[in-house]
Amino acid sequence: MAEFKKTAMPVTREEDYPQWYLEVIKAAELAENSDVRGCMVIKPWGYTIWENMQRELDQMFKDTGHTNAYFPLFIPLSYMQQEADHVEGFAKECAVVTHHRLRQTEDGKLVPDGELEEPLIVRPTSETIIGASYAKWVNSYRDLPILINQWANVVRWEMRTRLFLRTAEFLWQEGHTVHATQEEAMEETTKMLYVYKEFAENVLAIPVIEGEKTESERFPGAVSTYSIEAMMQDKKALQSGTSHFLGQNFARSSKIKFQSREGKEEFAWTTSWGVSTRLIGALIMAHSDDNGLVLPPRIAPVHIVILPIYKDEKEKETVMDYISGIKKEISGLRLYDRKIVIHIDERDIRGGEKNWYWIKKGVPLKIEIGPRDVEKNTISVVKRTDPDLKKNFVSKDEFVKELILTLTIMQDELFKKADSFQKENTFEIDDYNEFKKVFTPKNEEKPEIHGCFARSHWCGNRKCEEAIKDELKVTVRNIPFSEKEIEGKCIYCGNKSSKRVIFAKSY
């Protein structure tokens, strides 16, 4: 008889991956759908994760010479029209403000009133509105470079939404820089892509593949777009950050001009780059298991949760005294510049329920302390990364002494696990039948986890790319920097190809 293993999530990853994803979010209280179609409510646990991401990224931006500023939420319609490709890319998903007040009708209903002369668009991205300011700020080569980042919300009217991965409104950061030369702008584009890679791998413990997007997946209006792509546990790719080299396209449309050193008037070179709350979706799908959320220590809202166990007031006093001693000992410790966060759960609820509550929320270390632990100067620890969630009894002093090392190892283990998973599910595929087989689910009704990252040759022709997309819903994720020039045959048409690319299904 097969062993029956009970899990905290009502469905496992194997049973129904998309549903499992939603259950993890629900159980961990990360976010929920709002009454406004397509918009999510990010709950405190989810928002703290976002704040932790912001803090880490913000420091990395500042370390690379950037500062923050803030630009308007509304973009005049005429600004959007300036860049033709940009219009085409975003027109279908714009929220448009057409009126500026409400009027009450005789039967008490509110109706929009005061039509605007020029409609305003709620920013889907800010190249054009920021460009308008930059045009005023830049006169001479001495004004360059401009290295600014904005933390903001944006709106892209999505009809089919999924929490964190695709919502009408989402939070993000968008970097917008201006440079005097093409080389400098290109260097910035690459630099920020590597900032994202470092962040994804070191802080989120998610291995990513960096490379260039194909023309069809390019940011509307960009000369070239670069991405980092991560593999989720269902073997689909999640684009986790993008950096765009905009050439002089946006400088031309926004009229960002400057006097060069030689006294000539030139258009500037611009870049933009961004990551969003989508990364929370990546975090969930890269690490979580059938018991709920698993968080890398560096991003966890709480590092350690302590559950006191006592039967009466006298025991309570002893146990709580002991816990405040531990808290004091740990209070000075830091994991990568962040103070260790301890939460003591004193709620009056059943022990079992309390236990699972924190497992589902993904807190790295869960500690139980009862009167007997106080006597023996021990504690019982459960690591969230341990698939068996085994209780370990250790001496308190040892625990405190080893704490930072323990958390660092856990962080490392999560990365290694995700990295092995990605490597084990990445294949060189040169035969289209084999390619088709890998990307075709066995049960069309309820598709099971399937697919991979296929390193295959592609001739560079858009037609092959589209044909594969239509047939299998598989796209070129990016053309990795790490792939060497090597002669081969396009997986679809058999024509000459000089490089392998990453094909996968994606979010």
**Cβ-proximal residues to 62 (8 Å cutoff; 6+ apart), any chain:** none
Crossing angle (nearest 10°) for helices 278-287 and 396-424: 100
- In 3D, which of 363, 362, 364, 397 has the Cα closest to residue 379? 397
**Least distance in angstroms from the C-beta of 503 to Zn ion:** 12
Distance (Å, whole) CA 94 – CA 177: 24
Residue 414 or 490: the one with the smaller Cβ distance to Zn ion is 490
95 CB-side CA count, 13 A: 17
Q: How far is the CB of 493 from Zn ion (least distance, A)?
A: 3
Q: In this chain, which stretch among 41-49, 320-328, 331-339, 486-494 interacts with Zn ion, using CB under 5 A?
A: 486-494
Residue with smaller CB distance to Zn ion, 385 or 475: 475
In which order are the strands placed within the sheet that holds 365-369?
342-344, 304-308, 365-369, 378-383, 391-395
Q: How many residues bind Zn ion (CB under 5 A)?
A: 6
Whichever of 100 and 496 has its CB closer to Zn ion, that residue is: 496
* Closest distance to Zn ion from the beta carbon of 495 (Å): 5
CB of 455 to Zn ion, least distance (A): 15
Among 50, 164, 453, 492, binds Zn ion (CB under 5 A): 492
Applying CB under 5 A, does 404 fall inside the site for Zn ion? no
How far is it, in rounded angstroms, from Cα 358 to Cα 367?
Answer: 10
User: Which is closer to Zn ion, CB of 244 or CB of 457?
Assistant: 457
Cα–Cα distance for residue pair 358/69, rounded to 1 Å: 37
DSSP annotation of 267: E
Q: What would the x/- binding string for Zn ion be over residues 46 to 85, using CB under 5 A? A: ----------------------------------------
DSSP state of 289: B
User: Contact between 490 and Zn ion (CB under 5 A)?
Assistant: yes
Full DSSP string of 209-250: EEEEPPGGGS-TT-SEEEEEEEE-TTS-EEEEEEEEE-TTHH
> In the complex with Zn ion, which residue's Cβ is closer, 366 or 457?
457
> Which residue lies nearer to Zn ion by CB, 214 or 385?
214
The answer to whether the peptide bond before residue 18 is cis (omega within 30 degrees of 0) is no
Q: Of 8 and 472, which has the nearer Cβ to Zn ion?
A: 472
Query: Minimum distance between the CB of residue 218 and Zn ion, rounded to whole angstroms?
Result: 19
Task: State the angle between helix axes of 278-287 and 44-63 in degrees (0 to 180), rounded to the nearest 10.
Answer: 110
Nearer to Zn ion, 152 or 493 (CB): 493
- Candidate segments 80-88, 280-288, 299-307, 493-501, binder of Zn ion by CB under 5 A: 493-501
CB of 461 to Zn ion, least distance (A): 5
Stretch that binds Zn ion, among 297-305, 383-391, 397-405, 487-495 (CB under 5 A): 487-495
Contacts of 350 (CB under 8 A, 6+ apart): none
* Residue 344 · residue 306 · CB < 8 Å: yes
CA angle 227, 53, 340 (to 5 degrees): 145
Nearer CB in complex with Zn ion: 409/493:
493
- 307 makes contact with Zn ion (CB under 5 A): no
Distance of closest approach, residue 491 Cβ to Zn ion, in angstroms: 7
- HSE value, Cβ hemisphere, 13 Å, CA-based, for 260: 10
Residue (57 or 429) nearer to Zn ion, CB: 429
Which of positions 247-306 make contact with Zn ion (CB under 5 A)? none
CB 499 within 8 A of CB 483: yes
- Dihedrals φ, ψ of 333, to 5°? -80, 150
- Cβ-based nearer residue to Zn ion, 372 or 463: 463
Measured from the CB atom, the residue of 319 and 476 that comes closer to Zn ion is 476
SS3 content of the chain, % helix, strand, coil (to 5): 35, 30, 35
CB of 492 to Zn ion, least distance (A): 5
Least distance to Zn ion from the beta carbon of 219, Å? 24
Q: Other C-beta atoms within 10 Å of 109: how many?
A: 9
Which residue, 267, 269, 268, 266, is CA-closest to 244? 269
Q: In angstroms, rounded to a whole number, what is the distance separating the alpha carbons of residues 204 and 41?
A: 22
Minimum CB distance to Zn ion, residue 223 (Å): 23
447 to 466, contacts with Zn ion by CB under 5 A?
459, 461, 464
Position of tokens 């709350």?
Answer: 277
Q: Which of 43, 97, 493, 499 binds Zn ion (CB under 5 A)?
A: 493
Binding site for Zn ion (CB under 5 A): 459, 461, 464, 490, 492-493
